[in-house]
Amino acid sequence: MAIDRLREGDPGEPAVHPEDFTLSSDPWALFAAWMAEAEASEPSDANAMALATADADGLPDVRVVLLKGLDPRGLVFYTNAESAKGEQLRANPQAAAVLHWKSLGRQIRARGPVSPVTREESDAYFASRHRDSRIGAVASRQSRPLTDRPTLMAEVAALSARYEDGPVPRPEHWRGFRIEPLQLEFWQNGAYRLHDRVRFTREGEGWARSRLYP
């Protein structure tokens, strides 16, 4: 895309509205519908989301992780709990996340407290991963200094030999976390930057819906 297309005032391609999502009263049904459309159209990793956390001093950090669970309880991702993000979540168990689908002109934002998923959920997801991914999760001391890549690959080779074709146990420090949103915001691209934004805010067992200026 030419940079001129990004200048203010260029409408670009108007967003297509297959439905008026601004009338939805159930954010989880809307999230699931948008997720399904993204999975059908995005070339890879439609479930990629930017995850923002902050340390005990409030210094923010952000990285891309994969959304691996979605239901009315929240958004689930998995990681090494001894990583930088794991340490930040221990110090400050809150997070914000955004999924952006450029081809659809949409994004969803979420923020709220974070809590670990059950051991059973972590075990089930770990067991579903490719064996090489499980080996990699055991081998990686995520976020800590690494002398060189051959050191990591030697650890991977040693673990592959140790477990051969047998089960690879989930490390205790590798687990899932669930963002329990206090807010969910749906954004649809609009011409001339006149985007549609609808925010759902948790109120007791339900949600309050409001429209925002773009």
pLDDT tens track for 187-205: 999 989 999 999 999 999 9
Is residue 59 included in any domain, yes or no?
yes
Query: Domain span at residue 47?
Result: 19-130+173-212
Provide the domain count of the chain.
1
Tokens standing for residue 13 = 């391609």
CA triple 35-98-14, angle to 5 deg: 65
Burial of 113 by CB count in 10 Å (0-12 exposed, 13-18 middle, 19+ buried)? middle
**24 — pLDDT class (breaks 50, 70, 90):** confident
Averaged over 18-23, what is the pLDDT?
Answer: 72
**Binding site per annotation, positions for substrate:** 68, 125, 129, 133, 193-195
Count of Cβ atoms closer than 10 Å to residue 207 Cβ: 18
pLDDT tens figures, 85-118? 999 999 999 999 999 999 999 999 999 999 999 9
* Nearest alpha-carbon partner for 31 in 117, 110, 103: 110
Catalytic residue among 193, 199, 202, 209: 193
Instruction: Give me the CATH number covering residue 184.
Output: 2.30.110.10
Is residue 3 included in any domain, yes or no?
no
**What is the chain's Cα-based Rg?**
20
Is residue 57 included in any domain, yes or no?
yes
Given a cut of 80, whether residue 3 has pLDDT beyond it is no
- Active-site residue, 193 included: yes
**Binding site per annotation, positions:** 63-68, 78-79, 85, 107, 125, 129, 133, 142-143, 187, 193-195, 197
pTM of the predicted model, to two decimals?
Answer: 0.86
Is residue 10 included in any domain, yes or no?
no
